């Protein structure tokens, strides 16, 4: 319900995902993720997608493999409560 709060942490999250966050911002996000479940899920999801893309470009996987592995990761992440 706290829209401003959520926007602030989404921005932080995006910085970290993009690798543009400072060490301080990174620490801040990590601390925040421990207490904010929605950010934690979003972080895991974004990170997973980003890692999958990176790995699959190197490993030369097919788009279908990529879609499957992302789908699996999303299911795994969604089942983490
Ligand atoms: Zn948050």
Predicted local distance difference test score (pLDDT) of residue 5: 61
- What is the rounded distance in angstroms from the CA atom of residue 28 to the CA atom of residue 1? 21
Give the Å distance between the CA of 25 and the centre of ligand 1: 13
Question: Which helix (DSSP H) or strand (DSSP E) does residue 59 occupy?
Answer: helix 37-59
Number of other CB atoms surrounding residue 39 within 10 Å: 18
Give the Å distance between the CA of 45 and the centre of ligand 1: 14
Give the Å distance between the CA of 18 and the centre of ligand 1: 17
Say if CB 58 and CB 51 are below 8 A apart.
no
User: pLDDT of the chain along its 81 residues, tens only?
Assistant: 454 567 888 899 999 998 999 999 999 999 999 999 999 999 999 989 888 888 776 655 567 777 888 888 888 887 766
Give the Å distance between the CA of 31 and the centre of ligand 1: 10
Predicted local distance difference test score (pLDDT) of residue 54: 80
pTM across the whole model: 0.59
Domain limits for position 56: 3-79
Structurally, how many domains does the chain consist of?
Answer: 1
Task: Give the CA radius of gyration of the chain.
Answer: 14
Give the Å distance between the CA of 15 and the centre of ligand 1: 14
Give the Å distance between the CA of 68 and the centre of ligand 1: 28
- CA dihedral defined by 24, 25, 27, 29, rounded to 10 degrees? 170
Predicted local distance difference test score (pLDDT) of residue 1: 47
């Amino acid at each position: 319900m706290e829209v401003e709060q959520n926007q602030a942490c989404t921005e932080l999250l995006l910085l970290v995902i993009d690798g543009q966050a400072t060490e301080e911002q990174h620490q801040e996000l990590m601390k925040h993720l421990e207490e904010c479940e929605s950010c934690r899920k979003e972080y895991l999801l974004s990170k997973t997608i980003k890692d999958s893309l990176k790995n699959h470009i190197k490993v030369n996987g097919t788009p279908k493999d990529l879609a499957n592995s992302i789908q699996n990761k999303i299911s795994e992440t969604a089942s983490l409560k």
